Amino acid sequence: MLELLQVSKDYASPQGSIRVLEQVDLQLAAGSSLALTGESGCGKSTLLHLVAGLDLPDGGDIRLDGQSLTRLGEAGRAAWRRQRVALVFQQFNLIPSLPVADNLAFQARLAGRLERPWLDYLTRQLGLESLLGRYPEQLSGGQQQRVAVGRALAVRPQLLLADEPTGNLDEQTAEEVMALLLKLVADSGCSLLMVTHSLHLASRLDRQVRLSAGQLH
Ligand SMILES: Nc1ncnc2c1ncn2[C@@H]1O[C@H](COP(=O)(O)OP(=O)(O)OP(=O)(O)O)[C@@H](O)[C@H]1O
């Protein structure tokens, strides 16, 4: 279970400090999915980055199965980023110098969690078997995002964080990638927190919340 307890975040600006998140409370049960929507600049990516352990809140706490992220030191936060959460970005973010097979295994290897049968299952389900020797630049956007989904889920994270995962894809490819992502998230049993501008995509997740003026609705 993911819990955000009174989470606040400020950024410095020339006009002084700006509060982007204002004492946000949120709970996401293990194995369930939540869509985070809201206008551009409202703080959706900020919230996702905090949960990912990429940045620290200025107030409040973030907990995963009772463990507090804000009480961890740098090494503990690095382990959180490697093993407990995984990210899928709008821009795919594959490693250009590695073929698909190594991109798929990269994070699971780094986390010491590479399970070959699970990775093979993901590879088959994502339709990537014939592309394992190719490099990212030789793939379409939809193919690249399927690799990114496989790479993230190969870790067997407790929580998958997705930031506009289909934002760079045409409508039909977005549908295909989203269907695969939802099926494989269900297969892995992890929770999903997804940022999206699309109310249609948001409606496919268990719950929807909107971020506005620093608070969730
Ligand atoms: N590192 C930073 N320093 C200062 N301000 C920042 C920083 N990162 C984000 N911001 C500001 O915080 C606000 C929230 O940004 P964030 O990227 O979280 O919004 P978002 O809802 O994800 O937007 P979008 O939908 O356009 O991606 C914006 O006003 C942004 O300019």
Non-local (6+) Cβ contacts of 69 within 8 A are 51, 53, 61, 62, 63, 77, 80
With both helix axes pointing from N to C terminus, report the angle between 100-110 and 141-154 in degrees, rounded to the nearest 10. 30
The first and second tokens of residue 73, run together, are 């030191």
- In this structure, the residues whose C-beta lies within 6 A of any atom of ligand 1 are 11, 20, 38, 40-46
Quick one: pLDDT at residue 82?
94
Quick one: pLDDT at residue 10?
96
CA nearest ligand 1 atom 6, residue:
11
Best substitution site from 42, 164, 195 to test ligand 1's pocket, by max atoms within 8 Å of Cβ? 42
CA of residue 204 to ligand 1 center, whole Å = 25
Quick one: pLDDT at residue 78?
94
Query: Mean pLDDT in runs of 10 for the chain (217 residues)?
Result: 96 92 96 96 95 96 94 94 96 97 97 97 98 98 98 98 95 95 97 95 96 93
Quick one: pLDDT at residue 125?
98
Residue 211 Cα: closest atom of ligand 1: 21
Query: Under CATH, which number does the domain 2-216 receive?
Result: 3.40.50.300
Quick one: pLDDT at residue 68?
96
CA nearest ligand 1 atom 27, residue:
40
Quick one: pLDDT at residue 204?
95
CA of residue 16 to ligand 1 center, whole Å = 15
Quick one: pLDDT at residue 210?
96
DSSP letter (8 states) at residue 138: G
Reported ipTM: 0.95
Please tell me the distance from the alpha carbon of residue 19 to that of residue 107, in angstroms, as a whole number: 33
Please tell me the distance from the alpha carbon of residue 69 to that of residue 67, in angstroms, as a whole number: 6
Which residue is it, tokens 């206008």? 39
Q: Residue 157: what residue type?
A: P
Could you tell me if 150 and 123 are in contact, meaning their C-beta atoms sit under 8 angstroms apart?
Answer: yes
